[in-house]
Amino acid sequence: MIRGKTPGETVEEVAGRASRVLTRVLPAMVEGDVALVAHGHFLRILTAVFLRMAPRFGAQITLDAGSVSVLSFYREQPAILSWNYGLQLPLAPSES
């Protein structure tokens, strides 16, 4: 018997889930650090949503398995402070 493929979520549906996650964690970010662990594809879309970019922007950024990235705010704007780091992780923006 041949079974048809079940359609997965669209990028827009994943972006909706990412937006709901961000709505829940942003208040906690004001109080301290928040760790999210998820599949790389989801985290790339979540990053695009956080940066207020189109969800498909996530396809343009790479994210290795087991890497660590830091999203935060820089001058009150959503920003990537560190991206795709392995064992060495800078946790604060450099002073420029």
3-class DSSP string for 12-37 = HHHHHHHHHHHHHHHHHHHHCCCCCC
Is 1 domain-assigned? no
In tens, the pLDDT along 49-58 reads 999 999 999 9
Is 92 domain-assigned? no
Domains held by the chain: number: 1
Q: What is the pTM of this model?
A: 0.81
- The mean per-residue pLDDT over the stretch 27-41 comes to 91
In tens, the pLDDT along 54-74 reads 999 999 999 988 899 999 999
Is 47 domain-assigned? yes
For position 41, which CATH number holds?
3.40.50.1240
Q: Is 50 helix (H, G, I), strand (E, B) or coil?
A: helix
Is 34 domain-assigned? yes
Is 24 domain-assigned? yes
Is 91 domain-assigned? no
Higher pLDDT, 30 or 43: 43
Q: What is the pLDDT of residue 70?
A: 93
Is 6 domain-assigned? no
* Distance from C-alpha of 47 to C-alpha of 52, rounded to nearest angstrom: 9
Structural domain harbouring 17: 11-85
